[in-house]
Amino acid sequence: MSDHSSVALIGPGAIGTTIAAALHEVGRAPLLCGRTAHPQLILRHDEGEVTVPGPVLTDPATVRHPFDLVFVAVKTTQVADCAEWLAALCDENTVVCALQNGVEQKTQLKPYVNGATVIPSVVWFPAQREADASVWLRAKPRLTLPDIPQATRITDALGGTRCAVELSTDFTSIAWRKLLQNAVAGLMVLANRRAGMFSRDNITELALAYLRECLSVARVEGASLSDSVPQEIVDGFHRAPADLGTSILADRQANRPLEWDIRNGVIQRYGQKHGLPVPISNVIVPLLAAGSEGPG
Ligand SMILES: NC(=O)C1=CN([C@@H]2O[C@H](COP(=O)(O)OP(=O)(O)OC[C@H]3O[C@@H](n4cnc5c(N)ncnc54)[C@H](OP(=O)(O)O)[C@@H]3O)[C@@H](O)[C@H]2O)C=CC1
Ligand SMILES: CC(C)(CO)C(=O)C(=O)O
């Protein structure tokens, strides 16, 4: 990346702080754009901690020019609220890297980015915001990006950082595989439990049945995923620390809106569009939506 490339990050939460810290450690600290002002960001990891000097800016009017690369790490439920940041930071020469779950980031961000190129990513690592606003990084940071020429701006920025980046020529399949993992993690919200709950035999059975439903939707949407994927995902939860949560559970426990639509609703929506039976989604999705917002 040229020394003059400018990098901004919107949403310095669990994932945003991890990426900001990775960039800061190699002298490429991004402009920090947030909702809540913080003097600095703190990332705790297995070997220690990284402090990213602030401030976290909270007024989009302070941005004077578009940036070359903009990481977006707000929840997908918060994209519309970032419209002013995106308008100020993006033009048609900008690359926007969505550090968000789901398979719909391009569609969701496009209306806000002034013709910039939106590149989705698969974010593989768990990170938790702690009560003191520091972030606990619980695995080695790793992203997958589509193998397209514009992704170079992202791989250059993150090259040599603690965040590994892989490129995939079949990004659709990778993104859907991650979506399946996120969809079944939604069961943690309904049980109000962390990964340890998957050690119950009946939860394993429910998870496998739901994952098979998700897999059939993924395949008609163009993902090339084998029959063994549901078992592999459940095995992953069996191996995970019993206290490992998921970002949607953290949101539920903090009484924040949930990303239920992009993680679970999407399976139901696409399944119905293709005329596929989605009986488990038809139970899970209304419950997650009701847990997110509305009366009661
Ligand atoms: N956490 C994880 O382990 C993983 C998360 N993901 C995905 O990554 C994405 C980000 O998740 P995560 O990091 O957990 O989310 P967080 O809630 O931890 O962080 C979101 C950040 O965005 C900020 N924000 C909210 N609204 C605005 C706004 N209008 N303008 C600027 N900043 C704003 C929040 O500020 P405030 O401090 O005020 O809330 C917060 O700093 C999600 O799509 C999630 O599904 C993917 C893989 C793993
Ligand atoms: C932890 C992880 C990687 C898998 O569920 C995730 O995507 C999340 O918490 O949102």
Express each pLDDT in 135-165 by its tens digit.
Answer: 999 999 999 999 999 999 999 999 999 999 9
Hey, what CATH topology would domain 7-169 get? Answer: Rossmann fold (3.40.50)
Express each pLDDT in 275-296 by its tens digit.
Answer: 999 999 999 999 999 999 999 8
Structure tokens at 226: 């084998």
The predicted complex's ipTM stands at 0.99
Cα(43) to ligand 1 centroid in Å equals 14
Express each pLDDT in 107-134 by its tens digit.
Answer: 999 999 999 999 999 999 999 999 999 9
Cα(98) to ligand 2 centroid in Å equals 15
Cα gap 181→124, rounded to integer Å: 10
> What percent of the chain has pLDDT above 90?
97
Which among 75, 110, 178, 273 is annotated as catalytic?
A: 178
Would you state the pLDDT for residue 249?
98
**Are 141 and 163 a contacting pair, CB within 8 Å?**
yes
Residue bearing the CA closest to ligand 2, atom 9: 246
Write down the domain spans for the chain.
7-169, 172-292
Express each pLDDT in 177-229 by its tens digit.
Answer: 999 999 999 999 999 999 999 999 999 999 999 999 999 999 999 999 999 99
Would you state the pLDDT for residue 5?
81
Q: Can you tell me which atom of ligand 1 is nearest the CA of 74?
A: 22
Residue 12, preceding bond cis, omega within 30 degrees?
no
- Whether 140 is catalytic is no
Cα(95) to ligand 1 centroid in Å equals 19
Is the pTM for the entire model greater than 0.95? Answer: yes
CATH of domain 172-292: 1.10.1040.10
Q: From the CB of 15, is ligand 1 less than 6 Å away?
A: yes
Cα gap 44→128, rounded to integer Å: 10
